[in-house]
Every structure is written in structure tokens, then in C-alpha cells.
Structure 1
């Protein structure tokens, strides 16, 4: 199995593993019971810079917490929810893999360790994790990007595990990839703003590149499947305007042996701590 998986991963920049999860390996109701008060509700969007995490310390400080991020059209100007709470969320992050027992068990499973071993990771750590909702009619578009723009290492050795907790279809916003685009280097970086006097805490170091929409291939997957995503492959997902949600759990693994994790990355380990080691836990 792994020989074919590695071939697809190395050729296309992504690969699909069917039946990666069992049905019981999902938990969201318990997490969403701890809804934040409205003054702690952060909006999340990849398309509107005026409401993104760029100016939001809540986002910047979320690396070692379980934090809640809402869709831009789900919250009114006074912070009140305009839809049911479970339909308002964009994502929960970014330390589910450390602080939630269910997600920790999934992330540190033998399946994940074996996959990373086959990919050649020797000292892998997990910087962050997210539960992504992509709720019906409100699930926002995720613009075309490369994961290594956000979690950069030198040299780049980064893989994302994107696990479908519900069927991901063309209609409800499955991921779309440009095959082979991982071979073209990193197109731009998302970094901590070196200008300490700017209200923008996080910035891109260059304008967004143009990607031909026709170059993207949709990759629908059934519930329980996992998509391995190379750190440099270009991918995006459309907004979900269908009546069916597209929940997913995702996390990233980076190599620490003979690599340098960038001090410019938005996500940094808390002072005095290190990212969770995959093989040692």
C-alpha cells in the first residue's frame, strides 16, 4: 500500500488513504459546549483581510489553546450569533492534538506514526491542529495556498493530515489541488510583522500569486478518509452553499532533524515548551 501511496504523494503532492478513521474516532459536541463569550469570538476569513486574523491577538495566541473562530456572516456587529452556534463556527484550533484526549489519540495513533515513518520523517513534531466545520450554506471559501507559507521550515519538510469526518463532495467544498505544484517552490510567506508599530500583527511578504482555476482538480473523499498534503502543493476549497456540512480534522507534521523552523512563522511554541513530538508520545 505504502509504495503506491508514496508514488502518488511524490508525483502529485497529495495522496488519499481510505478508511483512515473509524466512526467512533470523532468528538465535537463536547468541545463546542465550551462556547466563548461574545467578546472572545474571533472571526476567521481567508478572503477578507479586514476581518481576518491579521490584527487579532486571539489568533496569534491560540497555538497552545482550544480557541473558537467564527464565520464572518454568522456574527452581527454587536457580537451576537445570527445562526445556531454549531452552524456559526469556521474552525476550532490550534491545540486539539494536545489538550483534547480524543484528538490527541487520533493524532498520535500508530497509523499516523507509520505514515510519517514511510514518508521519511525522523524527528517529527506536530505544531498545530484544527477542527474545520465548513457548515452548510455558511462554510467559507479557503483561498488557494501552500501550507508551507504558514509553517515554513528550511529545508521544507511538512505534511498535512486532512481527515474527513463527513463525506467531502464537490457540492459541499472538497479540497481542490494543482497536481505537481509542490515541485515549484514556495510562492509567498505568511509571517509575523517585523514592524512592531503596525496594527497588522501578521502579514504576507508578497502579493497573492495567480493560479489558473482550470488547473485545480477536485478530490472528493468519503467519511473516514485521510488526504496527505505536501507542504508546497497548491490547494483550495470553494464555499459550501449546499445543505450538507463538511467537517474535517486536520493537523500538520514537520521534521526537526536537519531542518530549521522559521522564527518568522505565525505559530511559535510557547516559551519554555516544544511542539508535541510524534514518536515519543
Structure 2
């Protein structure tokens, strides 16, 4: 990557910081330039062309994980993806034998969860001076990168993401130490599945966690607690132009609708954590490994 993000990023002002603290999310246009977006999309095209996923691991991705973790093989494929580049698929893209029934480049829901560690293009953007400067402005002293993913939101079939909080899946003590950085690689509209947020909902804690289960359990992961019911009228849409970034507090409630349009909505997203005086829960599905500890954002 060219590193041009530092020249083109929107300046994070004190007013921006206050809005993020008040609302739990913030949209900044012009973070990447169009050429940088195109380069990330082209690199992902190359990765998908070379993907080789065993049939027993060809699983649908869902924030509820109700479909994707039905078998031991698929659950293991997911839970061990934190330090790898793996592929998760949309619903109804395979026949009963696990063969693709749509072009494979249109079948993928997302690729994760360690693009930032294993691919130079995504690592460069993740650790760019622009990202570092944003995070420093928000006051993070020792941020580490937890995970990264490329999200496709395929035309016509890009699946709905139900209301959720990232802290459900990435739990820390104390809460409030995780932030998502979501970069639009194409224009994002209400028609192709933009993010929707409930402003201020990051101030109410969480009621559900997604955890690893004790050894010997029937499944490798499970939910503890229940997701709250949310008034649909409280959500507001956040369209963003190609190259814009959305900063997402770990506890803010957000969702996106199915993409019923004829254009995709590609995005690159990653999560960071303030590691100073923070305990990463050993129950989280995502765990650092000796080979791949959570890397410092500032190095």
C-alpha cells in the first residue's frame, strides 16, 4: 500500500471525539483514497481465487452462529481462525454435497480473522499512521489488534446482520476497551446494506456473551444471557462514501439489513483493544496464541 492514508484522512477534532463519546460511533469521510480501496479489493480477489476450503468447513456466517457451528468440524474451523485467514459463506450458496451453486467469488460473506497479521496489504492499512493518529486522539495508550475481516455484503444475497454489540463477542474487564474500525471500500448506502446504530446505546452495558464452553461440552461455543429487544425506530443509518471510515464503540448496538441491491458493499474492518489495565477474558472465542499474540497497533 502507498501509505497515502495519512495525507487524505479526515482530521479527528475535539468535536469528533466528543461525538464518538456521546453516540458510540463516528463517520469520517475520505480516510482512504479510491486507489487504496481498489488495491485492497484487488488483493482480496486474489485471495478468494486461491481459497481451498474443505467441504465440512464450508459454513454460513451469522452473528447468531446458529447455522455455522452445527458440526464439530465447522465449529473448530471458526474457533481456530483467530490467527489465520479463513473463509465464511453466505446462506444457500452450496448444494447438499457442499458444492458451490453460485460463482465462488460471490459466495463469501467474509474473510477473517488475521488478515492484519498475514497479508502485507491489510497489515499496512491496519498499522498506518492514519489509524495510529486516530486512536491516539481517542486516548488509547497501548492498543493491540484483536482481529480483522474483509466483509463482502454480496449483491442480492448479502446477509442481514442482526442487532448486536461487539463486546458480546470481544469481552473485556472493564468494558469499554474495544473499538471497531470499519472502512468502506465501496459506496455504502441504505440500498446495499449500510450500518445502522442506536446512538448512546454504548452506555447501557451488555446482556449477552458469546463464550467458549468447558472441555467436554457438546459444542465448542455458546451464548450466555439474552440479547435485548430493541425498538427499530431508534436505529439511524450511516451511509458512507468509498474510502470513509466508521469508528464503532464495542458496546454500541448496531445492525445491517440484507443487501437486496445489485451492487456489493465491500468493507475492511478490524478491532483494537486498549490493553493497559485491561483483562482479556479467557472465555472469549478469540484467543491469542504463542505464535500470534495480539500485536501492538503502534508498531
Whether 1:248 and 2:267 are equivalent positions in the alignment is: yes
Residue 205 of structure 1 aligns to a residue whose secondary structure is strand
Q: Is 2:60–2:67's contact at 8 Å kept on the other side of the alignment?
A: no
Runs (4+) of structure 1 exceeding 6 A deviation are none
Whether 1:187 and 2:201 are equivalent positions in the alignment is: no
1:1-281 mapped onto 2 (5 Å cutoff):
1-25=12-36, 26=40, 27-39=43-55, 40-46=57-63, 49-52=66-69, 56-156=75-175, 157-194=177-214, 196-271=215-290, 273-279=292-298, 281=299
Residue 126 of structure 1 aligns to a residue whose secondary structure is strand
CA RMSD between the two structures: 1.5
Q: Calculate the TM-score normalised by the size of structure 1.
A: 0.95
- Give the whole-Å Cα distance in 2 for the aligned partners of 1:278 and 1:220: 27
- Count of matched residue positions in the alignment of Structure 1 and Structure 2: 279
Please list every run of 5 or more consecutive structure 1 residues that lacks an aligned counterpart in the other structure.
Answer: none
Q: What's the CA shift for 1:83? A: 0.7
Q: What's the CA shift for 1:75? A: 1.4
- Give the whole-Å Cα distance in 2 for the aligned partners of 1:265 and 1:2: 34
| 1:104-139 Cα shifts (integer Å, max 9, x gaps) | 000000011011111111111001000000000110
Q: Is 2:61–2:90's contact at 8 Å kept on the other side of the alignment?
A: yes
| 1:78-101 Cα shifts (integer Å, max 9, x gaps) | 111111111100000000001011
Q: What's the CA shift for 1:47? A: 5.0
Residue 34 of structure 2 aligns to a residue whose secondary structure is coil
